[in-house]
Structure 1
Amino acid sequence: MEKKDLYDNFMQLEREAQALLTRVTGLSADVAKALARNAELEMENKHLREHLAALEDGHAASTGATELSKSKANLESLYNEGFHVCPYMYGQRRVDDEPCAFCLDIIYGEH
């Protein structure tokens, strides 16, 4: 084998290795994105299950209680979706779905 053939073979191998490294890097980025999306969806799924359980518990507890008016039911729906309905922070997201006494008073209070 001549020196030129040996050098050409080595350069070809180097190009193939570089192409393989590029593919591996791309696949690694794709896997990282998929894992992040999976974690995000798992958290959202957990949150939705907790929300559904709370709604079911609230529905079971509300049987026999007075029915909310349509407007208060709409406010309750917004509140359960994670938004403030009180005049102090209306429309803002509730951080970590923390309860708000002002919102609850608007929805369930005697006005």
Structure 2
Amino acid sequence: MSAAANKALVLAFYQQAFNDGRPEQAAVHLGTTYTQHNPGAPDGAEGFIGYVHWLRGQFPELHLDIKRAIAEDDLVVTHSNLHLKPGDLGMAVADLWRVADDKIVEHWDVVQEVPEKSSNDNTMF
């Protein structure tokens, strides 16, 4: 797949899993092996599905606002604002996804809470 196709795949997957709350349907985009580098989430499609259900169970109004996505070769990077409940400042999330054979096979993320006060006038997005 091209970098553009990989980017479209990741964006559709992320939207379907988190904003639409349909991780079982999104999991069809995962490879037969799915390596997860987030220490709070298990490997594999079943682990991903369980993690999303757990997270949405804790925060039923969760919403992921994807601000930008960049793709190069088999890698896609997304930069998002994850809101656990309406009106919160949320968390800045940078995700790195690896795609192989038209499937998402690996994921890394870095998460940082958006503070109420900043030392500058720039946003995190």
Query: TM-score over 0.5 for the alignment?
Result: no
- Identify the structure with the greater strand proportion: 2
Bigger share in helix: 1
Higher relative contact order (CA 8 A, sep 6+): 2
